[in-house]
Amino acid sequence: MKRNYLSNDKIYLRAPEPEDLDLMYNMENDPSSWDVSCFTVPYSRYVLRQYIEASQCDIFADKQLRLMMISRENNQVIGTIDLTDFVPMHSRAGVGIAVKKDFRQQGFAHQALELLISYSFEFLHLRQLYAYVSVRNEASRKLFISCGFTQVGVLKDWLRVKDGYEDAFFMQLINLV
């Protein structure tokens, strides 16, 4: 039986489309997420359009992969989930996830992360995934733990915030198969 790694009965993950431009623009330029995303400047529509057009949606070529999280119920974009900083030699990638405010605390992030893990380990054959989680972001820490990640360390003063610096948890999931 053919396995679909990027969908379940509630959501599916797909590559960004040109019609996602405004949504991506709003999400990327939300200052409330900048302190955990490492963005230092706003993204223009022009830059985001170029990203969508230039992306080969191939982690081996782009060294990253952005996927849009879509609700099956109404085909509405819920958020984004990313594989970043892909290093083929070490077979690892970072994970980033952003859920639109209207869709938080509904289990969508958990489902998207489970799909991404399955795709990463069973299809891409990655050895490990990791994430940096702000010590203030308890919901994100619980999300990663619920999907099998382990908190393996604390990075001191890792994230610059408006009133100084804060620590981040280093979360890791190793594919033992």
**Token pair listed for 154:** 């604390």
**What is the count of structural domains for the chain?**
1
Tell me: pLDDT of 148 over 70: yes
Asked whether residue 166 is assigned to any structural domain, the reply reads no
CATH number of domain containing 72? 3.40.630.30
Q: What is the DSSP string of 72-122?
A: TTT--EEEEEEEEEEETTTTEEEEEEEE-GGGTTSSHHHHHHHHHHHIIII
pLDDT in tens, 69-118: 999 999 999 999 999 999 999 999 999 999 998 999 999 999 999 999 99
Asked whether residue 22 is assigned to any structural domain, the reply reads yes
Average pLDDT of span 155-163: 89
Q: What is the span of the domain harbouring residue 74?
A: 11-126
Flag the least confident range among 20-24, 41-45, 107-111, 155-159: 41-45
Instruction: Give pTM, 2 decimals.
Output: 0.87
Asked whether residue 165 is assigned to any structural domain, the reply reads no
Compute CA distances 171 → 16, 27, 77, 143, 168, whole Å. 26, 24, 26, 11, 9
pLDDT in tens, 83-96: 999 999 999 999 99
